[in-house]
Structures are given as structure tokens and as C-alpha cells.
Amino acid sequence: MEIHLQGIGHRYDALTVLEDVTLTVQEGETLALIGPSGCGKSTLLGILGGLLQPGSGRVTVDGTVPADCLNPLTYVFQDFALLPWRSVADNVSLALEHHALSAGERRERIAEVLRRTGLGDFAGAYPRQLSGGMRQRVGIARALAVRPAVLLMDEPLSALDAQTRDLLMEDFLDLWVRERTTAVYVTHNLGEALRLADRVAVLSRRPGRLREIVPLTIPQAERGTPAAQTELARLHDHLWTLIKDEARSAEREMADA
């Protein structure tokens, strides 16, 4: 599936948060959204996923939803949102319970996503028994259980420590390189964007406008190699140059508020 945003604008009462955003999320790509705090990244993700109606502009979708897809647009949030009284398997099952699946089909999907996310040995564990990284894996497994056409991720690693974040980034890369799941990934972390994305869309300070789309030509599987580091450092500097001054202004504005 491809998603097309055309002239998207949005307001919260008198506050304009997005203005004239036009871009396409291409099938099979990972598109990272970055920009200063308060620039409307999460609002744009909500519009992409249909949680919010844009104040202006329109969203259109091209392509066919796979036959086994139960929820074409599926979110993974920063908050793991696990039910503490449910086991890992039962938390994943929650995403399937209102769909017309047999008990056997549900068990098969749960076992598959637990295996893919490295949770096969933790099916009977409860959230309190898991680390933060493992709990986020459960959230990802729950999203994958519906076999989404597009995965929408709102800073899914920001609550984790640096080591756990790096491990989960490698897991994301393994998943996306193998399956080419279309994904939109909102982050403040330029390193995450450069490690995971095929393209990086940079939004300006509020009201968020599309400043630039930066393509990454180095295959994701090669970005951890020494040969890639010079180019990734150059791209990091370029992205930081695009948002640095506006990020400082946004920070001062939030402090004054």
C-alpha cells in the first residue's frame, strides 16, 4: 500500500500545528519523520492512520490490502499499553479477539509473532516479569499479529535505555529487511532515523511544514559497517543543520509556556 498526503493542514482551536504537508509513503519503505518538538509529527501520524481527520487537505491510499491482513494501518506507541493481568500470549491475543478467527488460527498467529520477535520462550510470562525492552517486543508482536499493511510507530524506543534501544533497532532492521513492511517511524533521535529509514522527512517548527525529504542510499543491512560511517555522519550533520536552530527555538518556547 502507498499513502498519499496532499496539502495536509491541522489546527487545535487557534493553534496551527500542520500546514500544507504533501508527501507519499511508498510501498515497502520505512519513512522516518523528524523535526523540532511540537512540530506536529504525532499529529501527522494520527492523520496518516485515520485517528484524526485533517483540517485541510486529503489522504488517499493506493494498492491492495493483503488477504491475511486484519488491520491495514496499525500503531506501535511509546507506551507499551500491556494489560498486567494477561500473559504475553494473551496480550498479543487481544489484537485478534474481535476478528473472525478460529481458536487454531489465533494460536498459530500468536506463536508466529512471538517467534519472530524473540518471545517464544516467554508466552506464559506476565508484563511485570519482563524488562522494558521485552515489554516493547510484546507491543510489536501484538501489532504484527494482525499482519498490517502499514506499521505506524510513534517514538517506540524513546522510553528505553540506550543498550536496549540498539538491540531493538537491530530487531526492527531484521524484520523490515526480510519482510519489507511499510512503516512510518516518528522519532526525535537522528541516529534511529538514519539506522532504520529508507527516507527521512524533515518537518519545520510549528506549524509543521515539509522542509526536505532526505533519501538514504546505503542499504539498511550495511549501515553498521565501518565503510558506511562517513556517509551516515555527513547525513547526520545535514539533518541536524536542518532542525538545530528551530529545535532551540521550540525548546525556549515550551519553557516559556
Residue pLDDT, tens place only, 69-122: 888 998 888 777 899 999 999 999 999 988 988 899 999 999 999 988 889 999
Complete domains list, the chain, with CATH: 12-65+151-257 (3.40.50.300), 81-148 (no CATH)
Q: End-to-end distance of the chain based on CA atoms, in angstroms?
A: 40
Cell numbers representing residue 110 in the block: 500468536
Residue pLDDT, tens place only, 157-174: 777 777 777 877 777 777
d(CA 249, CA 205): 8
Residue 254, pLDDT > 60, answer no
Q: What is the pTM of this model?
A: 0.89
- Half-sphere exposure for 195 (CA within 13 Å, toward CB): 17
The phi, psi pair for 232, rounded to 5°, reads -65, -35
DSSP 228: H
d(CA 137, CA 114): 9
Cell numbers representing residue 208 in the block: 509543521
The torsion angle over the Cα atoms of residues 74, 77, 83 and 87, rounded to 10 degrees, is 70
